[in-house]
Amino acid sequence: MGKITKYLPSAIMGTSIAAPLAYMAYMYQKDDRQKQHAILRNFPLLGRVRYMTEHVGPELRQYLFADDNEGQPFSRLQYQDVVKAGKYNERLLGFGSNRDFEEDGYYIRNTLFPKLSTEMKLDNTEKTNTYTYVVDNEGLFSRKEHHEEAQIDPYFLRDEDAVVLGEGNCRQPFHIKGQVGMSAMSYGALGERAITALSKGLAAAGGTWMNTGEGGISDYHLAGNADLMMQIGPGLFGVRTTAGEFSWEAFKEKSEIEQVKAFEVKLAQGAKTRGGHLEGQKVTEEIARIRLIEPGKTVNSPNRFVDYESFSDLFDFIEQLREVGGKPVGMKIVVGDIEKLEEMVQIMRDSNKGPDFITIDGSEGGTGATYQELADSVGLPIMTALPIVDELLREFDIRDRVKLIASGKLVTPDKAAIALGMGADLINIARGFMISVGCIMAEVCHTNTCPVGVATTDPELQTGLIVDEKRHRVTNYVTSLRAGLFNVAAAAGVDSPTKLERRHLIYKDYRGRISSVGSMLQRIEQAEDKEQDVESLPDK
Amino acid sequence: MKVFVFGGNEGAGEHVLKKLAAKGHEAVTIAETENRAEELEMLGAADVIISKDGHFTNAIDGSEAIIYMAGSSLGAGEDQETLVDYGTVRKSLEEAQRHKIERLVYLSPVRTDESPESKETGEKDEPEEWIKKSQLAYTVIRTTKRVSKPGKEMITAKETIADSNGEIPYEDVAAVLVEALDNQNTFRKAFEITAGDTSIEEALDSL
């Protein structure tokens, strides 16, 4: 007994020094002998610092070193704008803008005689009940705030300004009293809690929609009773036979769900011009039931609808979907091949067929998982793609029967307003809504380890996401976006954001020179006239 | 009942129009612009008179009661409270008397927790005094702080409310005004309301 008390302190001391030393020695020889990394062979142990620092770089940059305007896909400020709109239903800032005014960019042309708030064509008759945060006191180390009930104005469009999909072309057209909705996000890509919060929040806000993503309609999409747009991708999830064929029976069943207001056939997605891959271990019983696939089996979906290789095939399919479902049918595209699009629009005019709406996904659009080469360089960004489609439809005089939905980082009212001016009727947002349910841009959506339980189906990680708190942020965010659109419209001198046009926009370059935002197609043609055709040169 | 509503633009005003319509009353009110008139009709106003200067003389004809929400001037922007122009209030009410309207529900701009000096600022309390001396079957209602929160249909109504931190949603203020309209127990009474735990009907009956 006496011996133990005598030697114990020095034994503890000894091991606490010797053990780390032994561990370091072990790591040293391990680094020294491995063949993978040159830096570790030359600088054992010390070289590890490089890897550790590289690993925590994104976090350090995001929180400590990056400028408020730096950072992709969203800068710190853009992120904060979204979060604040959700928490406080407010978009006010002090002292002035932090935008870099030296840079090239679109600006909204304000009029000298803006519209008064009493002149705006608004519908605030039905108030929205929600919760917002109120800051009591903010100090260096803490912020005291409380959550309280609030009744807010919904900022709906008037009935006569409502955007109608499939008007006069199907049995149940979809009337939408707001211009902002949720872009495609499947259950599986996002967890059940995130989808539930989104569904409930959007339903409470009203005048909006929720795109199910190609993963089909889950109970979580239905949880809040929001209006749904069901997406049909090449994998045909939710509308297929077990053999992988399109199932009209399953489709009819889906079209009879009251919340489903429209269908969207997905030809391409901005960041993902490729087929999907769903790992067998992710195919749970539930996912299998929703997607109509076999549990536990890996599914590879093709990068296009195998059965349709021409526009007339595709349009026949769309016609049939509309006929059977009775609801508007649109399609989602990424713009790249302008000649092919022109052909498409011509066929639409000549055959009097085609989609009721076209969702144009800018190449800057997000995704849970894709390949870098496709995300970065395939397809055109939204502010180029959108006016091209808008102009083509106008050129062939069918713009009135096709509505345009734009997406691609349009997470704040000013960006959304510019897209409306560029020809969009409606705006799709995905990542903005993810941020409103708690996304912190950790950029690990493809790993199922989302630290805030948004882009993961892991039940443990999801316990962090409280549906009843986040749902109100969704409501506030979408309402705040609509309010912001009316703000911009008033400044531009029109009484509704539905009236924003190309003439309300202007483009300023880094030299301070401005250019009008005129016809994109004419620009291309003029440039082509001046240019020498590469094909006229000898072959390489 | 045909009810003339002054102050349809104010926070509680929109709810008043909606609740009047829901109860089968016919609400008539004034708007400054065509666009605003459209909105008020969407809310449930049966008839909206467009008048830039608040002139309403003939429009008030045939109304059986008045709901007067003082505290906003016509056409003032959202949430823009101005000191009540008591001259206008009095003129309007005299006009009403000439048209033989006897029933008046008056939402006072004076808050329950205001100091005597504050009550007198801009002679905010003057119309109340005038109403009490008049022959009208009046109901004068003061509230605690009015807030944009969902209505609960539960209030406390008393002659004076001491709670200086109290608040009441606009929606509930509107519900009280509409409920008081044909509740004889509120005739020739002035009282104060705040959010509470009694149903509106019960609270008004037990005044």
Q: Quick check: B35 and A129 CB within 8 A? A: no
Q: Quick check: B149 and A151 CB within 8 A? A: yes
Q: What is the pLDDT of residues A291-326, one digit of tens each?
A: 998 888 888 777 788 788 889 999 999 999 999 999
**Which two three-digit tokens encode residue B38?**
């459209």
Asked if pLDDT for residue B54 goes beyond 70, the answer is: no
Secondary structure element (H or E) that encloses residue A426, with its range: strand A426-429
What's at B126, amino acid-wise? E
pLDDT (average), residues A249-267? 96
Residue B36: Cβ within 10 Å count = 22
Q: What is the pLDDT of residues A479-524, one digit of tens each?
A: 999 999 999 999 999 999 999 999 999 999 999 999 888 888 887 7
Residue A375 or residue B18, greater confidence: B18
Q: Decide if B25 touches A, using CB distance below 8 A.
A: no
Q: b or e along A86-111 (b: 16 or more beta carbons within 10 Å of the residue's beta carbon)?
A: bbbbebeeeeeeeeeeeeeebbbeee
Residue B123 or residue B197, greater confidence: B197
Burial of B26 (0-12, 13-18, 19+ CB in 10 A): middle
Residue to mutate among A123, A128, A151, A472, with most B CBs inside 10 A, is A151
Q: Which CATH superfamily is domain B2-205 in?
A: NAD(P)-binding Rossmann-like Domain (3.40.50.720)
Identify the closest residue of chain B to A120 by CA–CA distance: B35
Residue B71's pLDDT is 63
Interface of A with B in 87-126 (CB under 8 A): 116-125
Domain range summary for chain B, segments of one domain joined by +: 2-205
Closest chain A C-alpha to B27 CA, distance in angstroms: 15
Asked if pLDDT for residue A131 goes beyond 90, the answer is: yes
Lowest mean pLDDT among A241-245, A463-467, B116-120: B116-120
Ramachandran sector of residue A287 (left: φ over 0; alpha: ψ -120 to 50; beta: rest): alpha
Interface of B with A in 74-93 (CB under 8 A): 75, 77-78
Identify the closest residue of chain A to B170 by CA–CA distance: A151
Closest chain A C-alpha to B131 CA, distance in angstroms: 31
Q: Decide if B148 touches A, using CB distance below 8 A.
A: yes
Nearest alpha carbon to residue A177 among A207, A210, A211: A207
Helices A413-421 & A467-492 angle (0-180, nearest 10): 50
Asked if pLDDT for residue A1 goes beyond 80, the answer is: no
Nearest to B42 among A118, A125, A152 (CB): A125
Lowest mean pLDDT among A323-332, A341-350, B104-113: B104-113
Considering only CB atoms, which chain B residues are within 8 Å of A161?
A: none
Closest chain B C-alpha to A125 CA, distance in angstroms: 6
CB pairs < 8 Å spanning A and B? 42
Interface of A with B in 486-505 (CB under 8 A): 495
Residue B70 or residue A398, greater confidence: A398
Identify the closest residue of chain A to B17 by CA–CA distance: A125
Q: Quick check: A127 and B39 CB within 8 A? A: no
Asked if pLDDT for residue A126 goes beyond 50, the answer is: yes
Asked if pLDDT for residue B83 goes beyond 60, the answer is: no
Q: Decide if B36 touches A, using CB distance below 8 A.
A: yes
* DSSP alpha helix (H) spans, A145-298: 192-205, 219-222, 248-255, 285-291
Confidence of residue B4 (pLDDT cuts 50, 70, 90): very high
Contacts by A236-239, CB closer than 8 A, 24 or more apart: A236/A301, A237/A290, A237/A291, A237/A292, A237/A293, A237/A301, A238/A290, A238/A291, A238/A292, A239/A292
Asked if pLDDT for residue B77 goes beyond 60, the answer is: no
Considering only CB atoms, which chain B residues are within 8 Å of A120?
A: 35
Phi/psi for A331 (5° steps) reads -140, 150
Range with the largest mean pLDDT of A98-112, A186-200, B84-98: A186-200
What SS3 state is found at A46?
A: coil
pLDDT (average), residues B71-89? 53
Cα–Cα separations (whole angstroms), residue B100 to A263, B6, B64, B127: 60, 17, 8, 19
pLDDT (average), residues B145-155? 93
Q: Quick check: A118 and B75 CB within 8 A? A: yes
Q: What is the pLDDT of residues B98-122, one digit of tens each?
A: 888 889 999 988 888 777 777 776 6
Q: How far apart are CA A44 and CA A38, in angstroms?
A: 10
Q: Quick check: A125 and B39 CB within 8 A? A: yes
Looking at chain A, the whole-number percentage of residues with pLDDT higher than 70 is: 96
Range with the largest mean pLDDT of A294-303, A368-377, A525-534, B84-93: A294-303
Q: What is the dihedral of CA A62, A63, A67, A73, to 10 degrees?
A: 20
Per the prediction, chain B carries an average pLDDT of: 85
Residue A457's pLDDT is 87
Confidence of residue B82 (pLDDT cuts 50, 70, 90): very low
Identify the closest residue of chain B to A121 by CA–CA distance: B35
Q: Quick check: A119 and B33 CB within 8 A? A: yes
Residue to mutate among B30, B51, B78, B148, with most A CBs inside 10 A, is B148
Considering only CB atoms, which chain B residues are within 8 Å of A127?
A: 150, 171
Q: Decide if A127 touches B, using CB distance below 8 A.
A: yes
**Which two three-digit tokens encode residue A397?**
């005089």
Considering only CB atoms, which chain A residues are within 8 Å of B171?
A: 127, 151
Secondary structure element (H or E) that encloses residue B66, with its range: strand B65-69
Residue to mutate among B9, B15, B19, B35, with most A CBs inside 10 A, is B35
Residue A490's pLDDT is 96
Range with the largest mean pLDDT of A115-119, A304-308, B83-87: A115-119
Q: How far apart are CA A65 and CA A413, in angstroms?
A: 27
Confidence of residue B80 (pLDDT cuts 50, 70, 90): very low
Considering only CB atoms, which chain A residues are within 8 Å of B77?
A: 116-118
Asked if pLDDT for residue A145 goes beyond 70, the answer is: yes
The model's pTM: 0.89
Q: What is the pLDDT of residues A410-461, one digit of tens each?
A: 999 999 999 999 999 999 999 999 999 999 988 888 788 889 999 888 899 9
The domains found in chain A, sorted by start residue, are 17-59 (no CATH), 159-363+376-492 (3.20.20.70)
Closest chain B C-alpha to A134 CA, distance in angstroms: 13
| Residue recorded with tokens 């009935």 | A159
Cα–Cα separations (whole angstroms), residue B85 to B31, B91, B114: 17, 10, 18
